[in-house]
Structure 1
Amino acid sequence: MDKKLVFFLFFVMFIGLILPVNAQCAMCRAVLESDPDGTAAKSINNGIMYLMVFPYLLVGGVGIAVYRTLKNRKKEA
């Protein structure tokens, strides 16, 4: 892979992590909208975002491992 492509993929990934999102299912949203001060909704959003990060880290780690393996095979051949 080209270094520019790798840089672009990391850039897109980090921009995606920075952007604010609302990560609630429809049922949670309906229940939490009735909360007058909204602190429970913020806590639920933070928990969902925390749990969502780990699958992306795992997939990214596997992708980097595959990339390095393929890069080393090309050098040896």
Structure 2
Amino acid sequence: MKKILQILVVVLLGSLQTMAQCSLCTKTAQQLGEGPAKGLNNGILYLALTPLLIIGILGFRYWRSTRQS
């Protein structure tokens, strides 16, 4: 369990520097300046995190329930 948690932390910390914009959004954000571009990128990552977190929790609960059977 500790290894899974460590991998999850590394992945989440590594994804903080990722750019989550398509090419069209990147061009638009570059015209706005660096501050709004970073805000747009953080918003995209925030919106992507919620469904991924829900899927991860459901997958973990399924894995735990099948392992105990």
TM-score w.r.t. the length of structure 2 is 0.79
**Structure having the higher Rg:** 1
Which 5+ residue runs of structure 1 have no aligned equivalent? 1-5
Q: Which runs of 4+ in 1 moved over 6 A?
A: none
Give the counterpart of 2:41 among 13, 24, 45.
Answer: 45
Q: How many residues align?
A: 67
TM-score normalized by structure 1? 0.72
For residue 30 of structure 1, give the secondary structure of its aligned residue in structure 2: helix
Q: Which runs of 5+ in 2 are unaligned?
A: none
Q: Quick one: higher RCO (CA 8 Å, sep 6+), 1 or 2?
A: 2
Alignment RMSD (CA, Å): 1.5
Q: Which of 31, 36, 49 in structure 2 is aligned with 1:34?
A: 31
Identity of aligned residues (%): 27
